[in-house]
Amino acid sequence: PARPAGGPAAMAQAGVPLAKEPVPQAAPASHLPVKVCEMVLNAGPDSSSGLAAAGFRTDKHLPPEWHQSNSRLYHRASAGCEQAECGRTEAKALAKRAAVIAQRAQQDSTAALCQRLQAIRFWKIELQKEIEDLDAETSLLAAQKLRLERALDATQVPYAIATDNLQCRERRQPPDLVNDEVERELLKEAELIRNIQELLKRTLMQAGNQLRLNRDHKEICEMDWSDKVETYNIDVKCGRYSNQSTNIQFHPSSLKFQGSTSTPETWAKSSHDNIYKAEQEKLASINLRALIDSILHDVSQDLRRQCAAVNEAFYKHCEELDDAKCKLEYHLEKVLKEIGHQEANIAALKQAIKDKETSMKVAQTRLYDRSFRPNVELCRDEAQFRLISEAEELTETIESLKKKLLESEQSLRNLEDTRMKLEKEIAVKTNSIFIDRQKCMAHRIHYPVVQKLAGY
């Protein structure tokens, strides 16, 4: 028989029984609007409302309502199956696409981790190289600092020698206690040593500060390197994870970025800044080492040059002292000889005066005796005049001899004073020569050599 138009619903309304479930329509699944049906109350003459008193229910549905309810259920079931089939197809496609996306995302993450490992490895190598260079430079600077300390200790000997020489030369006796060239050179040497000691102390402080800075920046680089090593190991571990790993689990809280995280730019800049600062300190350390080497070379040369100047002044002064002493000894020998001659001269003058006094006695005795000649015999004869002339001549001669004797005695005293002064001056020169040659110059042979003054 021909199927009535209108579909299953029309057939149901026409009272045609359904042999099988209606085929779902190909229309897209969608929520159908709910049809509101108004219930028609049975109020006619055939209504059963009058049987309510007989105990029958009055809220029963009508057959059209029953068919309409079934139709709605058929339609809902058909739409649900169609929607489920579409959802199943979309779910398969979505699962396949999600698997591809997840696999690609995991591959991209693994590649990103590999690139990150390369970046970490690069900075780790750079940091390790910088740490090794800075450590080597710190060792070299520490060696230079040790040279400075040795050089500073070595200056104690020259300073002790210079001050000892100055103190020894204070024991010179006048007139040799003079501010001569030797003393000026010794004072210059002592001042030079004090200035050098101050310079070495300042350089030592500078070297100590530089060593501290080197160690601080090395520690910063080591901490950065240690962080890079730890991060490298973590990222290597992360790169080895796969879907087949057994030690993976959910960590929902790890999806959020931490507040203290850095960007790739700030991360690279941090390591770059650490290396740059370490390089700056390394260059400063290299320049300081060169400065220390130059200072120690100049200091040792200056000290040895001044030592040579002091020694040369000592040699010249000792030669002058030797020459002066020889001249003084020569003049002392002459004075001693002259004293001997003068003593002999004085003795001769005394003997001459004594001899002349005897002659004076003879002449005066003759005149005295002739003064007793009687009467006219008391004549001023030639003999009288000659005796008087002889007495006068003898008187003048004796006076002259006495005067010469006084002069000779004064000359002898002068010679004696000169002898004493010469002997004293010779003793002074001998003492000065002993101080300069035996004390000072003998002590200066212990002056440190250039290598020791340079800190080696």
Q: Is the peptide bond before 4 cis (omega within 30 degrees of 0)?
A: no
Model confidence pLDDT, tens digit, residues 112-163: 999 999 999 999 999 999 999 999 999 999 999 999 999 999 999 999 999 9
Q: What is the DSSP string of 157-209?
A: HHHHHHHHHHHHHTTPPTTS----HHHHHHHHHHHHHHHHHHHHHHHHHHHHH
Least confident range of 35-39, 61-65, 206-210, 300-304: 35-39
CB 435 within 8 A of CB 171: yes
pLDDT tens per residue, range 325-343: 999 999 999 999 999 999 9
Q: 423: Cβ–Cβ under 8 A, 6 or more apart, which residues?
A: 332
pLDDT grade, residue 244 (50/70/90)?
confident
Interval 88-100 mean pLDDT: 91
Which pTM does this prediction carry? 0.68
CA–CA dist 208, 401 (Å, integer): 90
- Assess whether pLDDT exceeds 60 at residue 29: no
Instruction: Check residue 246 and report its DSSP letter.
Output: S
Q: What are the backbone dihedrals phi and psi of residue 24, each rounded to the nearest 5 degrees, phi first?
A: -65, 145
What span, in angstroms and rounded, lies between the C-alpha atoms of 117 and 103? 21
Q: Identify the three-state secondary structure at position 120.
A: helix
Is pLDDT of 399 > 80? yes
By CB atoms closer than 10 A (0-12, 13-18, 19+), residue 260 is: exposed
Indicate if the pLDDT at residue 35 is higher than 90: no
What token pair was written down for 96?
A: 């396949």
As a whole number, mean pLDDT of residues 382-393 equals 89
d(CA 445, CA 183): 18
Tokens matching residue 133: 């260079």
- DSSP sequence for 328-394: HHHHHHHHHHHHHHHHHHHHHHHHHHHHHHHHHHHHHHHHHHHTT--GGG----HHHHHHHHHHHHH
Q: What is the crossing angle of helices 181-240 and 156-169, to 10°? A: 170
Angle at 328 between CA 327 and CA 331, to 5 degrees: 85
Q: Residue 137 class from Cβ within 10 Å (0-12 exposed, 13-18 middle, 19+ buried)?
A: buried
| Buried b / exposed e along 5-30 (16+ C-beta atoms within 10 A) | eeebbebbeeeeeeeeebebeeeebe
Distance CA 362, CA 355 (A): 11
DSSP state of 17: P
pLDDT at 258: 63
Q: Which of 67, 93, 91, 82 is nearest to 31 (CA)?
A: 82
| Alpha-carbon span 167 to 440, nearest angstrom | 10
Task: Please report, for the chain, the start and end positions of each structural domain, with discontinuous segments joined by +.
Answer: 318-454
d(CA 160, CA 442): 14
Q: What pLDDT sits at residue 259?
A: 61
- Residue 136 buriedness (CB in 10 A; 0-12 / 13-18 / 19+): exposed
Residue pLDDT, tens place only, 158-192: 999 999 999 999 998 888 888 999 999 999 999 99
* pLDDT for residue 334: 93
| Mean pLDDT, rounded, for 195-223 | 95
CB 303 within 8 A of CB 158: yes
